[in-house]
Amino acid sequence: MAEDKNESSEFKVVDRRSFTTEGSPRAEEAPRTVKVEPPAPTRAPERSSIIDPYAAEASELPEAEHPGEPSRFETLISYLSTTTMFQLGLLAGPGGERIPPDMPNAQRTIDLLDVLQEKTKGNLTSNESRLLDDVLYELRMTFVELQKRQARKG
């Protein structure tokens, strides 16, 4: 506990990617070990130093937030369906508070899923296609039911 936080410490990083940065397959070789010192603490970046994803080369972009977890189609569908459920008021907020329904934004998110379904038609596996069909069906039915309830109240 008496360590000085400014004292440099080393991290051991093992590169286990199966492709090189150029995109070609790596030759079967023993894993390389690289020692890296953590960067010195810095203040927040100035606006001009923030990476512009449209201007930067792919190699200049930061690595994914969760490098061990690849982004998959199912993750996208899950994200959009959960967002819709929040917008429909079906899920509690971060503190457990009730969130009122936001029907226009819920409709927009359902429409986004519909566009995704149209644009990916013929390019999905049977499981991905079935997942998207099921999610869209459930969200649409829930949306209609909530609209009916609001009409009865109003």
Question: 139, exposed or middle or buried, with CB in 10 Å at 0-12, 13-18, 19+?
Answer: buried
Q: Residue 129 to residues 30, 106, 125, 126: CA-CA distances in angstroms?
A: 40, 21, 6, 5
Nearest to 84 by CA among 137, 43, 129, 21: 137
Give the model's pLDDT for residue 95. Answer: 85
Within 13 A of 130's CA, how many CA atoms are on the CB side?
3
Give the model's pLDDT for residue 89. Answer: 93
Give the model's pLDDT for residue 12. Answer: 53
* Global pTM value: 0.55
Longest dimension (CA), the chain: 69
Per-residue pLDDT reduced to its tens digit, 33-88: 545 555 565 555 554 444 444 444 444 444 445 555 667 999 999 999 999 999 99
Per-residue pLDDT reduced to its tens digit, 76-135: 999 999 999 999 999 888 888 888 999 999 999 999 999 999 999 999 999 999 999 999
Q: Residue 57 to residues 5, 52, 54, 135: CA-CA distances in angstroms?
A: 34, 10, 8, 35
- CB under 8 Å to 82, separation ≥6 — which residues? 91
Note every long-range contact of 45-52, with CB atoms under 8 Å and residues 24 or more positions apart, other chains counting.
none
> Which residue matches tokens 């070609």?
24
Interhelix angle 103-120/73-87, nearest 10 degrees:
160
- The answer to whether residue 22 scores a pLDDT higher than 80 is no
In the chain, domain spans = 73-153
